[in-house]
Amino acid sequence: MVFDEVTQRFLLKNKSLLPVVQGGMGIGISAHRLAGAVAKLGALGTISSVDLRRHHPDLMQSCSEQPTKSHINACNLIALDREIKAAKTIAQGQGAIAVNIMKAVSAYPDFVRQSCESGADAIVVGAGLPLDLPDLAADYPDVALIPILSDARGTQLVLRKWMRKNRLPDAIVLENPKFAAGHLGLADTKDMDKPNYQSIQVLEQTQEVFEKLGIAPIPLIVAGGIHQPKQVQALLDAGASAVQLGSAFAVTCEGDAHDNFKKVLVEAEPEDIVTFMSVAGLPARAVRTPWLEAYLHKEKKLQEVAKARDCSEGFDCLAFCGLRDGVAKSGQFCIDRQLAYALAGDIARGLFFRGSEILPLGKAIAPVKELMAYLLSALSPTAPAAAS
């Protein structure tokens, strides 16, 4: 496929982008190689900001020699700067590079400022309402600001708050928690099937919010459950400006994780994917690996004896952590450690986030270009018909 043939694009600031966005995945699953490869094709590639020092042996060694919270945080900012600049080098001026930052992480304000200073084209924030994002990025008006939300109600709240700051989002990711991977944007999994989270309905309701508030339409990026070209076309026809995928990009050749990580994701069957309570106080979705199976077996007992303790990793990655803070109803494990094992391909000990739906290319580990060509095939006038 010649991507220039795809006429359905969306504008982010002054950039015309392909309507398929690569989601941010931590720890380090989407770093400079993946984000840069996506951007080079003319799309939005995303770096996850969390604990990027793990991609840099010199920084890991430095943290081992000086394991203080301030030093670990400083090393992560150095790593973020390196990753953004490396991704932009790969992109060669094409597409755009975003940084995904969880509102729930302790270093959220520092990550926002560093991303702006290092030249990121966009900041994407989820795992909480980023009501203060316009303030944090006020000195960088050319950086696109993109909140991740799950329903029109949350969107309206963010818009009202931002309007008081004379700023509007440059795009909004609407993520369906029924299908997405990682941390899910709802308090209780019992709410997952409520119609206010369903993609088409959320699109319609969000557009009604724009009209109600008297603002021009903002690009809407739909995420969760997308795996076929006909879904991409249907969502664009329904008013979306783009779609976002995470797991599908994680298993590409350019994905920044170990090959074992990709193997776990592509080999997982639907019955292997489970939703559980994470340490961040939010439900999460992952592959039922040996570690997760063992954890779920003893989860109730661990919750019964939950008590506040010092952070085992020494730098408080989350502002709220059920394990560290002793909150029984939340997860009782170290998420940074388990995700780091997954990044390194440790199948026995890793926590492997994955969406609930089949992957677009099945069990294949293919180049980003092939994945993009498949997803966009319904939008190209000259491409062969895509398999459904």
Most confident segment among 130-134, 151-155, 313-317: 130-134
Cβ within 8 Å of residue 387, ≥6 positions away: none
* Residue-level pLDDT at 388: 41
For residues 313-341, give the mean pLDDT: 91
**CATH number among 1.10.3720.10, 3.40.47.10, 3.30.930.10, 3.20.20.70, domain 3-259+359-379:** 3.20.20.70
* Residue-level pLDDT at 46: 98
DSSP state of 318: B
Tell me the C-alpha distance between 71 and 67, whole Å. Answer: 7
Q: Which residue reads 């050749």 in tokens? A: 253
* Residue-level pLDDT at 385: 46
Could you give the percent of the chain with pLDDT greater than 90?
81
For residues 149-167, give the mean pLDDT: 94
For residues 245-249, give the mean pLDDT: 97
In terms of phi and psi (left: phi > 0; alpha: psi -120 to 50; beta: otherwise), the region of 133 is alpha
* Residue-level pLDDT at 131: 95
Structure tokens at 128: 């909480």
Cβ within 8 Å of residue 223, ≥6 positions away: 21, 23, 148, 173, 174, 175, 176, 180, 243, 244, 245, 246
Cβ within 8 Å of residue 248, ≥6 positions away: 227, 359, 360, 361, 371, 375
Picking from 202, 234, 268, the residue whose alpha carbon sits closest to that of residue 8 is 234
CB 21 within 8 A of CB 44: yes
Confidence grade of residue 386 (pLDDT, cut at 50, 70, 90)? very low
DSSP state of 105: B
CB 252 within 8 A of CB 365: yes
Confidence grade of residue 382 (pLDDT, cut at 50, 70, 90)? low
Confidence grade of residue 378 (pLDDT, cut at 50, 70, 90)? confident
Tens of pLDDT, residue by residue over 209-243, are 999 999 999 999 999 999 999 999 999 999 999 99
**In the chain, ranges of CATH 3.20.20.70 domains:** 3-259+359-379
Tens of pLDDT, residue by residue over 255-303, are 999 999 999 999 999 899 999 999 988 899 999 999 999 999 999 999 9
For the ranges 123-132, 176-185, 285-294, 374-383, the lowest mean pLDDT is seen at 374-383
Picking from 133, 108, 49, the residue whose alpha carbon sits closest to that of residue 84 is 49
Tens of pLDDT, residue by residue over 12-24, are 999 999 999 999 9
Q: Is 9 exposed, middle or buried (0-12, 13-18, 19+ CB in 10 A)?
A: middle
Picking from 113, 102, 110, the residue whose alpha carbon sits closest to that of residue 140 is 113
Cβ within 8 Å of residue 65, ≥6 positions away: none
Q: In Å, what is the CA distance from 13 to each residue of 121, 218, 267, 324?
A: 9, 11, 38, 40
Cβ within 8 Å of residue 263, ≥6 positions away: 347
Q: In Å, what is the CA distance from 6 to each residue of 16, 39, 333, 370, 381?
A: 11, 15, 45, 15, 8
Tens of pLDDT, residue by residue over 81-106, are 999 999 999 999 999 999 999 998 88
Tell me the C-alpha distance between 275 and 355, whole Å. Answer: 10
CB 327 within 8 A of CB 197: no
Q: Which amino acid is at 264?
A: V
Tens of pLDDT, residue by residue over 341-371, are 999 999 999 999 999 999 999 999 999 999 9
How would you list the strands of the sheet with 283-287, edge to edge?
182-183, 283-287, 273-277
Picking from 235, 275, 278, 295, the residue whose alpha carbon sits closest to that of residue 355 is 275
